[in-house]
Amino acid sequence: MPTVLAGLTASDVRTPRLTAHVVERAGVGNGSPVVLVHGNVSSSLFFQPLMLGLPEGVRALAVDLRGFGDSERLPVDATRGLRDYSDDVAAVLDTLGTGPVHLVGWSMGGGVVLQLLLDRPDLVASVTLESPVSPYGFGGTTADGTILNGGAGTGGGGANPEFVAALQAGDRTDASPTSPRTVYRTTYVKHPERVPNEDLWVESMLTTAIGEDHYPGDATVVEAWPGFGPGSRGVLNTMTPDHLDLTGIVDAPAKPPILWVHGADDAIVSDASFFDLNLLGSIGAIPGWPGADVAPPQPMVSQTRAVLERYRAAGGAVTEVVVPDCGHSPHLEAPATFTSALVAHIGAA
């Protein structure tokens, strides 16, 4: 099936770090480009309706991260947190000579753009966070970011092996609760029947490179429940709390305006995420949970709000938009709301 929609083009950008695949909507305006960074188990293809919905003249670029889409399948050094990805995006922007851009990061991509803000503020005109990973990483922390049990239960060991196998097999059916199509329907969006182009989103998910250097990554054996801890390689380990801490944005000298858009009913990034093993333990889905005093669920949204409030108090502008009756993908589920907020944000930056 065609994967690049009419009105967009795709090309490979060769940089000193990697050859990255980029989908683009050409623009003739004088403003900074909009650069979109996707999340885990996805690719630039998910952003196409948003790109086509931007006002005429706005240049938009969506970059495939390494190991996703059609970018090079280079290994991921998770000990650097999300820096392999953010450095790759910076290399693309440097090669293209974009100057400062309006960054949009979805889910894991939200962490990537915040890391880029920390390391290359010269490339950032504004930041939009869509359903972003917590600044403290994914799983294994208390409300104030304190790491629990060395990060036990986070990282590559937390992926459902049946889902990983389905990705690797290229499963396009909905025959299993762990097929990519079913996972998309039950976690990426709240109302899949309202979102067109489902086959395209499944194709995007199936571009994910599989393995210990890619998705989901490796794991270590630990004594603490549930018996595994962070590894040093691959996607999920980039977001373990021992590898990722983005709270440095609070004290960073450069504070571009931040727009935070998230669905009220997000199943992936929330204060009760069904991808958080501590939450799953607390509801009995994983046996042996040691209790809330030892392994409480991570309050992801509350953590993000607290850090962004500190960013605001330190002089940065922050706008929060909560989209009702919406899951993890506001740009697909509520495109008019998301696009309107984004256009206003970049127009004021």
pLDDT digits (tens, 9 = 90+) for 237-251: 999 999 999 999 999
Task: Answer for the pair 44, 64: CB distance below 8 angstroms, yes or no.
Answer: yes
**Is the residue at 3 inside a domain?**
no
> Average of pLDDT values for 24-31?
80
The pLDDT value given to residue 245: 98
Q: For the chain, give the mean pLDDT.
A: 97
pTM over 0.85: yes
What is the model's pLDDT at position 9?
96
Residue (of 94, 95, 43) closest to 67 by Cα position? 43
Spatial distance between the Cα atoms of 39 and 133, rounded to a whole number of angstroms? 9
**252: in domain:** yes
How much is the pLDDT for 26? 84
- pLDDT tens digits along 325-341: 999 999 999 999 999 99
- pLDDT the model gives residue 184: 98
pLDDT band at 2 (very low <50, low <70, confident <90, very high): low
When pLDDT is cut at 50, 70 and 90, the band that residue 163 belongs to is: very high
**CATH number, domain at 265?**
3.40.50.1820
pLDDT tens digit string along 263-283?
Answer: 999 999 999 999 999 999 999
* Beta pairing partners, 13: 20
For the record, the structure tokens of 172 come out as: 């396009």
pLDDT value at residue 122: 98
Task: Give the angle subtended at the CA of 189 by the CAs of 184 and 190, to the nearest 5°.
Answer: 125
What is the average per-residue pLDDT within 104-125?
98
Q: What is 37-92 written as a DSSP string?
A: E--TT--GGGGHHHHHHSPTT--EEEEPPTTSTTS-----BGGGTTHHHHHHHHHH
Query: Which two structure tokens, joined as six digits, stand for 215?
Result: 């998705």
276: Cα separation from own chain's centroid: 15
pLDDT at 257: 98
**Is there a domain that residue 248 lies in?**
yes
What total number of domains does the chain contain? 1
Q: Residue 187's domain spans which residues?
A: 9-348
pLDDT at 284: 97
Cis status of the peptide bond prior to 132, with omega within 30 of 0: no
Beta 19-25 vs 60-63: how paired, if at all? antiparallel
Residue 264 lies in a domain: yes
pLDDT band at 1 (very low <50, low <70, confident <90, very high): low
Specify if 2 maps to a domain.
Answer: no
When pLDDT is cut at 50, 70 and 90, the band that residue 29 belongs to is low
Residue 6: how many CB atoms within 10 A of its CB?
7
In a domain, 222, yes or no: yes
pLDDT of residue 31: 81
> Dihedrals φ, ψ of 248, to 5°?
-60, -15
Looking at the DSSP assignment, which residues form a beta bridge with residue 127? Answer: 103, 258
Helix then strand then coil, % of the chain, to nearest 5: 35, 15, 50
In one-letter notation, the amino acid at residue 35 is V
22 closest CA partner among 75, 58, 60, 67: 60
DSSP code of residue 276: -
Whether residue 4 is contained in a domain is answered as: no
Residue 270 lies in a domain: yes
CA distance 65 to 103: 14
pLDDT attached to residue 260: 99
Count of other CB atoms within 10 angstroms of residue 216:
27
Cα separations in angstroms, 152 against 28, 195, 240: 50, 36, 9
Q: CA dihedral defined by 52, 62, 43, 48, rounded to 10 degrees? A: 0
With a pLDDT cut of 90, the percent of the chain lying above it is 96
Question: What pLDDT score does 3 carry?
Answer: 87
* Percent of residues, the chain, with pLDDT higher than 70: 99
